[in-house]
Every structure is written in C-alpha cells, then in structure tokens.
Amino acid sequence: MIRRAIALLAGGLLLVTVLEATAGASPTPLTSMLPSPQLAGRGSSAVCSSDVGCLARLLTVKPGSDVPVTSHAPLGYGPQALSTAYQLPSAATGNAGTEAIIDSFYDPNAAADLAAYRSTYKLPRCTMGNGCFRQVNALGTKQFFQPTTPAQDRLAREVGVETSLDLDMASAACPTCSLILVYAYEPGSKNPSGFHVPWFADAVNTAVRLGADSVSVSYQFPPIPTFLKLAPSFNHPGVAVLASSGDGGYEGDHVGFPADLPTVISVGGTTLYQTPGQGDGFTEVAWDDGGSGCAVGEPPAVGQPDSVSGLCGGFRAGADISAVADPTTGVAVYDSYTPPHAPPFPWFVVGGTSVSSPYVGGLFARAGTAGVNGPSTLYANAGDFRDITLGQNAPFGACFPNPVALCQASIGWDGPTGVGTPQGLTGF
C-alpha cells in the first residue's frame, strides 16, 4: 500500500518520491536516498525486551526478522554525514563540554568499541587513559553488574548495543566532549536482574555531580504514578537532561517516563533522506514510529508556550525536539559485545529515538548549558531549528479527539518532531 509521499521543491521542479510499505515493514524509498544501497528492503526489530526499556532498534536482514544487518565496515550515517545534515560548524567549534550517558547492566567492551568508532571516523581519542572517558555505576563507584545466568548475559549483550549507540552518537555530535557512562546499577541490591527504574534517577544525579553538562536517557518506562517521586532527580537547571520520546508512535494521553516530566527534554525522531541538490543534501520527515502525545496530569514542559500545551488541555505535550531515528536511514554503530543472534561482525545499523536523544545531548554539551532550564531554551529559540512539516506517526484520524498536530508534522511545533531538528548550534 502507499504509505507516504514526500514533495520536495527545488529549482522550480516538484519531485515526488512515493514510499511504499507492506504491513509491519519500514517504508521503502529510492535506494539512492538511503545512507547505503545495502539498507534497502530491510526490516527492524527492538534491541531490548519491553521490560528493559531501551529504545534502540536494529536494522534487520529482512522484514519480520530479528537477525541484524552487520558488516565489516560502516553502512549507516557517520559523524560527517550527520554534521552536514544538521549544518554543524567544524568539529573544533563549541565548548568541550561533558555528556553523560545513562545505561543499564555493564558493557565490558564499551571503552574498546568507543575507541574503534572514533578511530574509524578520525575523531579525537577519548579514553580512560587520557581522562576523556569515565565509567561508573549509579552510586559513582566502579563496581559493575556481572551476569550470572544465560538470560542475564543475553540482556547485557542486548543493552550493550544501546550503550555503544549512545556513546557513538555523543561522539558524533561533540567530538571534543568528554563522556561519562553511568550504569543504572547499585551494588548490594537484592534485585538480581541488574535493572531497576529508581537506579536511573540515582544515575542522573551521579552524572550531574560528576560534572555533566548534558545527560541522556535512551529509555522509556510506563508512566506509573509512583515514578513521579523520582522527578526531582531529573530537574537540574544548568544541565540539559534529555530522554527519548519513544518508538511506539503517537501515545495518546500517557507519554512514557521520564520524557513525560516537565524538566526533561523529550527527543523525538525523523527519517533522514539523502537528497543531493536539495539544500544541504538531506531532507527529513517525521518518523512513523517516533513517540509523541500528552502527559495528562503533568504541567507543561518548562518554557512550553500555551499554544503547545493547550493542544493537550494545558498538560505537558511532547516531543520538544527531534533528530534522525528511523532504522531505515539509521546510523553506523560499532559494537563487539554482540547479541547472541547477531552475525559476528562489529558494525550495526541502528535507529530508534535512542539515536536522537544522545545526539541532541551532545549538541547541548557543545553549545553550552549554563542557561538551560528544561526545554525552555528550545522554545525560546524555536526559529533556529529546521521545521519539519511532512510525515506522521499515527494513522489518519488516530489523534481524534485531540488536535492532529499531536501526531502529524506541520508548520511550527508538532508532536512527532517538536520545534524541529538541529540547524547549527545557535538554537541550543
């Protein structure tokens, strides 16, 4: 069936590219519009089981398969392509800030994989030896979760993809930034799974205490009322705290935690096509599965205009900003701590709003966060972002009775893409 059409205006000629998809499959654009021709006709699957909460999605060998596409060399977008797409200045421009990544379990290959990614793309070295890269648990110590069962080992390896993705995207956005990887794990707990939502709150506090300018959480949990007591841990004026908006499309009146919190920057997702000859050579539309909706019961996001929160009856509306997230136009990730079902090659193509959150977090750290207070900076500088006006994350009419802007890209703010996507660093 015809899923979506993109209309691009260039040189007075209207170019219409029809994207088609079968049920459950990603849209299939012209092969030349993808990061690599080898990505055409693929599928995608969630990296983590639903109870773990991470939002990375692997590009798979075909629709309906959970076997990821792997390769000896990168196939997805790398730092240079993303920098061009988002009109970033030279890598040395901006602050050499610090971004913290919050993840679960423990990835024993994190430092080596980060080094391999940065070496491939000729980014500055960021190692534990030179002080650029640190790893701690949620309490700030260096005692990490160790799997003791096959099931725990499987989960740790799945989350390892998320960890590599987060570190790689932080590196791509801010090559000169320092990185802190904080595992949401507290030694001595009776919870044997190595996974507990309050640990994420403690991990954010630890990241801020260790000097992070931005903190990214690429996880989403159900908006359980008891989680609201954790809200103060995600409120740090002067530090950009970001969370993925979700990979389930329009979520109605129950946006997931912690992106539902007013002080957290909710980061949605787009599909990023290569369109040579069109502007900077890239075109974005709202990603079909990027999360949006209303956090009923939560006040508006900090700095969110009445015109936006009013779409949710005065409650918090999301997302606030967006960036690439569609696995079909996914990013290259180096990960050697591979899931059990993955072919033995280290390069993956990954999508999900787990891509967009750490990437935007790196731009905040690069731009400086002294005046940041939740998403307020984004709304104050909304005109500095690229407005995304095409695409949707729900079938026609699914928003009813809520306004269509909550699930369809449009002029100005909309749910799937927020104020838009980065266009340089000035909006941050």
Query: Over the stretch 212-242, which tens digit does the pLDDT of each residue have?
Result: 999 999 999 999 988 989 999 999 999 999 9
Roughly how many angstroms between the first and final C-alpha of the chain, as a whole number? Answer: 40
Residue that is written with structure tokens 């900076």 in the block: 377
Q: Give the whole-number percent of the chain exceeding pLDDT 90.
A: 77
Q: Which residues have C-beta within 8 Å of that of residue 311, sequence separation ≥ 6? A: 294, 317, 402, 403, 405, 406, 415
Query: 198: number of CA atoms within 13 Å, CB side?
Result: 6
Mean pLDDT taken over the chain = 90
CA distance 403 to 405: 5
Per-residue pLDDT reduced to its tens digit, 276-312? 988 889 999 999 999 999 999 999 999 999 999 999 9
Tell me which amino acid residue 208 is: V
Which pLDDT score, from 0 to 100, does residue 285 have? 97
Q: C-alpha angle 176/84/268, rounded to 5°?
A: 85
List domains and CATH numbers for the chain. 40-406 (3.40.50.200)
Among 63-72, 90-99, 136-145, 416-425, the least confident range: 90-99
Which of 401, 384, 163, 420 lies closest to 284, judged by CA? 420
Which pLDDT score, from 0 to 100, does residue 58 have? 97
Task: Return the sign of the alpha-carbon dihedral for residues 381, 384, 389, 394.
Answer: negative
Angle between helices 150-173 and 353-367 (to 10 degrees): 40
Q: Is 358 in contact with 391 (CB distance < 8 Å)?
A: no
Per-residue pLDDT reduced to its tens digit, 182-223? 999 998 765 555 568 999 999 999 999 999 999 999 999 999
Tell me which amino acid residue 306 is: D
Which pLDDT score, from 0 to 100, does residue 85 have? 97
pLDDT tier for residue 330 given thresholds of 50, 70 and 90: very high
Q: What are the beta bridge partners of residue 358?
A: none
The predicted model scores a pTM of 0.92
Note if the bond before 225 is cis, omega within 30 degrees. Answer: no
CA distance 104 to 48: 11
Query: 74: number of CA atoms within 13 Å, CB side?
Result: 23
C-alpha to C-alpha distances, 16 to 6, 10, 19, 237, 279, nearest whole angstrom: 6, 11, 10, 44, 16
Tell me whether strands 265-274 and 282-286 are parallel, antiparallel or unpaired: antiparallel
